[in-house]
Amino acid sequence: MDLSHFNMDGSAFENTPNPDCFVTLAAHREALDTLQGAIDDRRGLSVLDGLPGTGKTLITRLLKQRLGYEAAVGIITRPCADIQEFEDAILDAFRLNRRSTAGSLGSTLERYLDDLYQQDIAAVLIIENVHELPADCLDLLQRLTRFEADDMPLLQILLVGWPDFMAGLDGLADAAIRQRVYRHIRLQPLSENDTAAYIRGRIRIANGPEEALFSDDAIELITKRTGGIPRLINALCDRLLVDAARDQVHMINGERVRTMAFEQEFDPARYAPSPAQAPAVPAADLAERSLVDALTTRIEALEAALQRQHAETEEFRAEQPRMQQQLRRHDRVLTRMVPMFRALRQHHDEAKGVLHECRKAREQYDAMLTEPESILRTVTDMGSQIRALCDDAQACVATMQKVDQELRQSIAEAEQSRTALSAQCGETAPQIEQARRMTAMLRRMHDMATGQCTTLGAITERATALCESLPAYLARTEEVMATPQNTLKRLQAADNTLRQRIEAGENQCQHVEKALQRAVQTVCELRQQVEKVRRGDTAPARPAAPARLATPMPAKRLVQGDPASLARRVRDLRSQIESLRQVMPARIPVPTE
């Protein structure tokens, strides 16, 4: 077949039970849903029958595909001549070990079904062509239906065959099978509308053209010649497409269908039970045989429609208790929802009150947005004060440098006096010893001053860090303007921290001032001792230099300037003190009086 003529990916009318070629018709979809529902509900035995070629095998393949891994599905497709072959087929369907006796089959299968029951997995056995099973196989089938738990059958069985199978179960021995049938579904031949939908669906699955390939009269004749049997429809439509592709025809009309040779044309007499002896037809009625056949066909169609209507009515009656149960369930749900709706109404009213309060809070929030501006001004003023403190610290450092220079000059003069006194060490031993003690004390005071200077440098670095972090605090203040309360708390905390650090710096400055005063007092006492020694000396001595130590400036001016200049000044001060240590001798000889 030239598929390019109709732009199809493959043959649209293959006669294989391919689930991908399933056309969703109402009757087939309903049959598939009913069978799946019976298996999901663990109803036990179901029957699917219909004329040959109506799609029973395709329904079973789709059912297996739908169940997937939620059920263990076994399908028996091969014919079984005796009970031994039937037992082997059952074991092979579930991939169990082969047994030789019926008893072993029952025990093996029962253990397998119990394991699946414990795992909540349905065991499904699909038996095709059940109408061909011998009588002893039906007895085994009856025993299989007795595998039951307390709440459900252990084995879900689907019997697939011809319609005369159920008609043959009319004896007392077959009553157990007939009574356990939960659903009996019969696939009827397709009507003319279903045939048209089926043909269009198969062409659409094969990616055929959207426009119709078959005319309405062609659909009518196809339905009449095939009797609505999907297998015969596939065979006839496949031949028609081959013929149309050969003749380069894009539309198949009724004339082409009428003239097409088709050996498998539907004959109702072939599918009906053959009577024991057919009545003879009078010669006078031979002329009216065609009319009788047409009437018979119409009557059969009406009977089929009535059967479908009756089946739908029965299904509706069967579903009526479930629908009533659902209605009662909906009433209970509605009864539960009424207090929930009332509670929701109450929550709605509460939400309105909360919304009103939120609006009031929004107004207060808008009023508070103006407060951060004053806070920013306060922080700016604090920054100016901190900068002023830094200026004072810078001036204090300059003063400390001057004081250090004066100390160096005083220490140089003291060194000169010590040199002069070394010649008269014998006479001035007590004074020299006292001078040594004073020098040691001066060194200790120098160490204390060095520690205080280090602390002062740390305080200066902290103040500088605060100055540098002040713009970040200002930016953070602008970011948190949306939450004024939190901003006020943070600013208050920052203000407290700044005040604490400023107070700590002032305390450190006071300690430095006291240390400097003690150092100046010590130098003055040293000068007085030197003067006393000079006055007691017979040799002329060099007059002592007047005290030129300037009064130190307030300590709060020591933390002014940028961190680099302050660190440089502190290093200079340390180097001057170290040079002062080097000038002072480590050990002074003690003279005798």
Confirm if 73 and 126 have CB atoms less than 8 A apart.
Answer: yes
pLDDT at 548 over 50: no
Whole-angstrom distance, CA of residue 213 vs CA of residue 200: 8
Burial 317-346 (b: 16+ CB within 10 A, else e): eeeeeeeeeeeeeeeeeeeeeeeeeeeeee
Nearest to 413 by CA among 530, 252, 299: 530
Q: And the tokens for 478?
A: 């602008």
Q: How many CB atoms lie within 10 A of CB 300?
A: 14
pLDDT of 480 reads 61
Question: Collapsing DSSP states into helix, strand and coil, what is residue 208?
Answer: coil
239-251: pLDDT as tens digits: 998 898 888 888 9
Indicate if the pLDDT at residue 289 is higher than 60.
no
The DSSP symbol for 153 reads B
> Which SS3 state, helix, strand or coil, does residue 561 take?
coil
Please report, for residues 6, 221, 249, 530, the alpha-carbon distance to residue 246 in angstroms, rounded to integers and kept in the order given.
11, 21, 8, 140
Q: Over the stretch 354-410, which tens digit does the pLDDT of each residue have?
A: 888 888 877 777 777 666 666 777 777 777 877 787 787 778 777 777 877 777 877
Say if CB 252 and CB 213 are below 8 A apart.
Answer: yes
Could you read off the pLDDT of 227-242 as tens digits, one per residue? 999 999 999 999 998 8
> Nearest to residue 457, comparing CAs of 381, 563, 373?
563
CA distances from 549 to 213, 295, 403, 411, 579 (A): 121, 143, 6, 12, 18
Q: How far apart are CA 467 and CA 488, in angstroms?
A: 20
Q: What is the pLDDT of residue 503?
A: 82
Residues in the chain: 593
Residue that wins the pLDDT comparison between 538 and 395: 395
pTM higher than 0.75 for the full model? no
